[in-house]
Structure 1
Amino acid sequence: MEVARVRVEIDPAWWVSGTWEGRPIRQFLERRDVTAIFRFLHARGLSYGAIGGLVGISPNRAAEIAKSVRQVTAYEVLERVAVGLRIPRAVMGLGHESRLAATGPLITGDRAQVPVAELSALRARLDEALAAATVSGRQLEMIEESTHDHVRAYPATPPTAMLARIAVECAEVLTLSRRRQPAALQARLSGAAALLATLCADALMRLGETTDARLWYRTAVLAADDSALPHLSVLVRAQAAMLPYYFGDPQQTVALADKALTLSATPCASAALAAAGRARALARLGAAEAARTAMRTARNLFDEVGATDSDAAFEFPAKRLLFYLSGAATWSGDTATAYRLQDEALELYRASPAVSIDPTLILLDRSMCLARDRRTDEAATTACEAVTILPKPQRTEIVLTRAYDVVATVPPIERHGPVADLDGYVRECRRQARTLTGGNAAIDP
């Protein structure tokens, strides 16, 4: 569902001097009349999508409130109205200004840019709330439903758009977590926080924001452990293991995967993911024999768990297993096995309607195999085509780094023809990415 597409500025002076239906708007604020507040803003030209974006609700929900179909009485929602619309909390009888109010609204829509500094501040406050915490069962169900919607949509959604959506959910979880809930409810709330934080971390990783991604993974671990749900503790660590594989020391990937496997009392999809990620990292470290053993472990775990065909984030279907195993074969230098696994994986991905970056990463692994087989021009051409098939918002640093790995296999003095073309294309994609992300993309190597 779409929300506002342009940034909306609320003039705080409206709440001091504005009038509605011939009376000072302040009278409606004091009564916490959100219907009148929304009508007042709508009359000033703000769409319901813009209003909803500022307070973290859908355009339809905002319209229903303005038309008196719904009433707002929950304290947490009133807080979000005050913060998002820049209304002095004291006027609405909501107590002192919070730190969240000081930062202003986090987003205004799916295409809004969420500065990393604001995400960092949000992550720190979420850490605080998880370490400390009234929510109805229905409220919690809505948060969980929305979280799972994000999980399903994530693989095909550009990371910048996903960060904007997740920020709304994180703000709501933060508000509810400021007061500790009964244990059963708190566990569910922390579980939602763990999934949201992991999505946020993964999106930041794709953008190349490695420091902030690492901190969000840490928050995800904190939330998962607070939920007392073992499968979540395994899941977030298996996912976190991807970061050092792509942007750091693969030895850290092995350590995180080992921790996830240790916590896995019973076989699960996340344990199979951890095992496959471990195999890939060992191969990258040059431990070919250990990698082959880890590949067999991953296959055995996958067979024990049973296959899933879902394209949602955090699932581990057969095509993703093949993707990881092909990566392990690539780094082990077993290009014949890698080519076969890549073909099998790509065939399964072609049958899926979702647009994912996985096929591109598989083709980039293939490019590395071609480069190892001294088919340099073919490697560069394959890598360039792999990046080109992605929509521009999906050509993020995680993809461009792998594409540049192909260039890096060729000595600078020999970079001509398709290799030079790939080098120039990666640089241009990075320049465009810096524009799309407000200058936060990685600088050329």
Structure 2
Amino acid sequence: MHETPESDRELGNLGPHSPGFGGNWLDAAWESLSERNREILTWRARRETLNAIGTEFGLTRERIRQIESQGAKLLVRAQEIFDPNLPIKILEYLGDQSAVPDDVIAALLGTRAPAAATILLKQLGVQPPVVRSGPLIGYWSANPKALDAQLKALTERFPLSNEEFGQTAHALNIPPAAPLGVILEKDYRAELTELGWVRANRGARDRAYLWLRQQGEPRTVLEIANVAGASEHATRETMRRDEAFAQVRPEGTWALTDWRVQGADQRYANAVDVLVEVLRDLGPLDYAELRAEIQKRYPVGEWRVAQCLSSNLIGRNAAGLYDLAERGAEPIEDAEPQRPKHIQASGNVVGVEVPVTHDVLRGSGIPVNRWLTWYLGLRTAPSTRYFALGNGDDELSVRRMTSNSQLSSLRAQALSLGVAEGCTLVLLLRLDSNTASLRHACTPELCPAR
């Protein structure tokens, strides 16, 4: 003979139309338990220990476990009879929410007995979210680890102003009902200040950052230290070691690196540094991806990005993507540019017209067309070729860089020829002997030096 389960016998007089149903099957099932058992189950729902409950009610640990097991089975059996689709409905409602409050779940279940809801949810596999200190009692989730991951992602973005905090929490899908302030300060070493949220172990640095950003312009280290709550020396050293800050010279004030204030120490020495960092961070990229990422990190035009691709630190891999030469990418040599009229070549001899300018006479380097460096075999950057100048006592260098190509100073030789600003020189380079000579090429009657 088939034996009726004890839970079914207890539920036998409960149904949607029975006097004992009371309009809600979960409340009715809960009320069918003895008052003492309901009280014991309520203690367990509050996560009281078996020892504490045993002391209070004069019961053994084993007897408490039996009462807990029987009560849970009764509630689950009631659910199976009266609402068999409840597990699916609850999981659909929870979705990817990382923390849903007790009262919301109780309203969903239509119960006035929160302990009954807690016990039933655990039996159905729904758990409280778990943060660093343990389960977050009073909240539920289908993925107990989700809230911890969200809070870690949130604190990784610190420091944040109050407005940014709310926006970031929303973007990370952190439910507004979660008691974020309490959890963050207790478990995630975060601190709410008048400026916003900071990391407790980097509070002085983060307060300095938020305040300086709020000011919007460079400030003295004393002003920053007063807000940061640290000494001038400690504040200066903190900012000096932190890439987010830059010292403005010669004033000695401090700014945020992102502002790119003139005279401030910058994170990147040049655009090539950015290009190398991007490829090191992200791996091989096509040109569009590479350009977009460089311009995201550094204010530079597309023409400058293209120039940087001639660096001998960069090349193309077998798949045609840009990558670092140190990872085996083949450096990209310049294609032959169009030869300008002021440069002539015949075999191993190249002649270059050099206008005498104020910069030439003061000893500056002299920009030259890229065709010259290409013809000299300088087809990646940086690369240099040297020529003995005059009697061999002086040396001329021709240098190819990513941004330009240039000759070294010709000041001494130009002055020895008696030229003046506005004159024309011709530089002759002999490639077979790596020698160079300089001539005064003005028509006598039109020479500015006469």
TM-score > 0.5 by shorter chain: no
Structure richer in strand, relative to its length: 2
TM-score of the two chains, using structure 1 as the length reference? 0.28
Higher relative contact order (CA 8 A, sep 6+): 1
TM-score of the two chains, using structure 2 as the length reference? 0.28
Question: Could you say which structure has the larger radius of gyration?
Answer: 2
Structure richer in helix, relative to its length: 1
